[in-house]
Amino acid sequence: MGRLFGTDGVRGLANGVLTADLALGLAQATAVVLGRGRRAEERRARGVRPVAVLARDPRVSGEFLGAAVAAGLASSGVDVLDAGVIPTPAAAFLVADIKADFGVMISASHNPAADNGIKIFAFGGRKLPDEVEERIEAFLGAEHLLPTGADVGRIRRFSDAEDRYVLHLLSTLPHRDLSGLHVVLDCANGAASGLAPDAFKDAGAEVTVIGNEPDGLNINEGVGSTHLEPLQRAVVDLGADIGIAHDGDADRCLAVDASGAVVDGDQIMAILAVAMKERGQLAKDTLVATVMSNLGLGLAMAEHGITLVQTGVGDRYVLEGMAAGGFSLGGEQSGHVIMSDFATTGDGPLTGLHLVAEMARTGKTLAELASVMTVYPQRLINVRGVERELLDADEVIAATVATVEAELGDSGRVLLRPSGTEPLVRVMVEAETEETATLHAEALAAVVKERLSVG
């Protein structure tokens, strides 16, 4: 069997790849690895069991998977605080807030309802490094000496989980009065449906909510950050000031301005970076983003004296880059925005609140704030059926890329990136015009296809 953990926990078809047996075994293995640390042993020395926070998004399979995880943890001598349906960033925050030994979030994020996943947070609400995931996998299926009698864990409801998180969100705002602003909030029929509207209302905004009727099967279905059309229509039809879209587990935030134009993660990061620098809160005047971020982001940051550090694609690599450099802001074009002074992971409600707070503080529209960055047209083509492993060694492709880069100069960019999971190469070209970006991307894709085709 290949590696169980992917880039964001264990994910797959619920009751297909991801069964109740696997969830129970994974929970028991996690209890062995994370429930035997120094802090947990100190608890035991005081006669107190290790504690884990458990949460999920509203997809139907989360009910039986959550029960399996709770059983696995409790049977391994871990007390479980079940927070119910809350966002992934809320689960991470709660692990840190109550100093739990670790946490488990059951969610497949922006995936369809049939999928699910198990994400594990270490002490402090931080994602697990690869070596810890490998240790958990090594213990999976192994014989464990399980406790009995009074040593088994207890499962209790985390009754004030939502209130703790909402109060935390509000406490982070530099400008807490959002009155006079009409926000349309799309919760993707997901984990933010209950608490995100309350947070915006408590901050004083007028709130209209869509995508807030989860039934266990409709998560991400035609709504949320992966389907922005309903939000765009609602903002324009209602004459609202801004639309905010989350995904199923609310670790993403994308926005829509009053005209219905999309403001993506790059633009949101640009707005927040400039604002944080003005307040002296942008650590080392640096923003961390991935290589897929728009060329315009780097140019805008340079204009404002902000350094842009780029990482590989994936929020875990952004997190690693932020931790290594001691930086306070980072994220992805997809809407994963990490504000490390307040969160250990991408936090959609936190990002949305800070974005609206900047509108309130400055009196500017979202379109005016977003104009800090010029978005360069970007054309992405996935070239399938190729030997992606041979990409770096092909001299013809390298020469073609060099020629295109020379033509584009400082007004464009080329990125060829092999997929880590599929037999394809992603060809991305940015240029001053859509026509130029498309022309070069199609030409490069044709060369990649010709040179690397399987068979």
For residue 79, say whether it is annotated as part of any ligand binding site.
no
Active-site residue flag, 109: yes
Instruction: Please give the distance of CA 117 from its chain centroid, rounded to a whole number.
Output: 14
Beta-strand relationship, 51-56 and 79-85: parallel
- Torsion angles phi and psi, residue 289, rounded to 5: -140, 175
Say which of 61, 76, 109, 293 is annotated catalytic. Answer: 109
For residue 328, say whether it is annotated as part of any ligand binding site.
no
What's the 3-state SS for the chain?
CCCCCECCEEEEEECCCECHHHHHHHHHHHHHHHCCCHHHHHHHHCCCCCEEEEEECCCCHHHHHHHHHHHHHHHCCCEEEEEEECCHHHHHHHHHHCCCCEEEEECCCCCCCCEEEEEEEECCCEECCHHHHHHHHHHCCCCCCCCCHHHCCCEEECCCHHHHHHHHHHHCCCCCCCCCCEEEEECCCCCCCCCHHHHHHHCCCEEEEECCCCCCCCCCCCCCCCCCHHHHHHHHHHCCCEEEECCCCCCCCEEEECCCCEECHHHHHHHHHHHHHHCCCCHHHEEEEECCCCHHHHHHHHHCCCEEEEECCCHHHHHHHHHHHCCCEEECCCCCEEECCCCCCCCHHHHHHHHHHHHHHHCCCHHHHHCCCCCCCEEEEEEECECHHHHHHCHHHHHHHHHHHHHHHHHCEEEEEECCCCCEEEEEEECCCHHHHHHHHHHHHHHHHHHHECC
The catalytic residue positions are 109
Question: Residues within the annotated binding site?
Answer: 109, 247, 249, 251
Question: Residues within the annotated binding site for Mg(2+)?
Answer: 109, 247, 249, 251
